[in-house]
Amino acid sequence: MTERLDLGKSATDLYQTVVELDRRVSRSLNRAGITEGFSHLLRLRASQINRCAFCVRLHARDALASGESSDRLAVLAVWKETDYFTLKERAALELVEAITLISVDQLPDVIYEQAAENLSSEEVSAVEWLAVVINTWNRIAISSRYPVRE
């Protein structure tokens, strides 16, 4: 692969702004009652869709370290076909997926309505901000070709 400019090193002030936004999103998720482990599964799901190998590995490890089960991690890519996730978690996953794929079908009303029915306003906001931030990280890592080596 062609070596790329590392966005984190080429514009450290901008990179640090994203780091701070990520910290604030994590605090928002915490205040909304979304567990750290599940927040990593949400980040992981967006990263799977975006095919960001660096973030997939990072958030898989972080999810496990935060107490998520290996079973939930293993079925995340096919979560709709399982009973591993609660209605709230399913609504959050659907919302993250829709925002990650926003160029395909915007954010369909049916998905937003489902989120609003199953999540509090604080949870919806936190999940939407998580989707914004992880999609930003995915683009930074993919554009910079962050290495993923054994």
Whether 46 is covered by a domain: the verdict is: yes
Whether 40 is covered by a domain: the verdict is: yes
What whole-number distance in Å separates Cα of residue 70 and Cα of residue 73? Answer: 5
Please give the pLDDT value at position 26.
Answer: 98
Whether 124 is covered by a domain: the verdict is: yes
Over residues 35-47, the pLDDT tens digits come to 999 999 999 999 9
Over residues 82-133, the pLDDT tens digits come to 999 999 999 999 999 999 999 999 999 999 999 999 999 999 999 999 999 9
State the total domains in the chain.
1
Query: Which CATH number is 100's domain given?
Result: 1.20.1290.10
At position 25, the amino acid (one-letter code) is V
Whether 103 is covered by a domain: the verdict is: yes
Please give the pLDDT value at position 146.
Answer: 85
What whole-number distance in Å separates Cα of residue 53 and Cα of residue 56? Answer: 5
> The domain containing residue 32 runs over which residues?
13-144
Please give the pLDDT value at position 57.
Answer: 97
Whether 4 is covered by a domain: the verdict is: no
DSSP element (H, E) containing 84: none
Q: DSSP state, 119?
A: S
Structure tokens at 75: 């079925």
3-state secondary structure of 1: coil
Please give the pLDDT value at position 1.
Answer: 67
Whether 150 is covered by a domain: the verdict is: no
Question: From the centroid of its chain, how far is CA 63?
Answer: 11
Whether 69 is covered by a domain: the verdict is: yes
Whether 7 is covered by a domain: the verdict is: no
pTM: 0.94
- Other C-beta atoms closer than 10 Å to the C-beta of 78 total 9
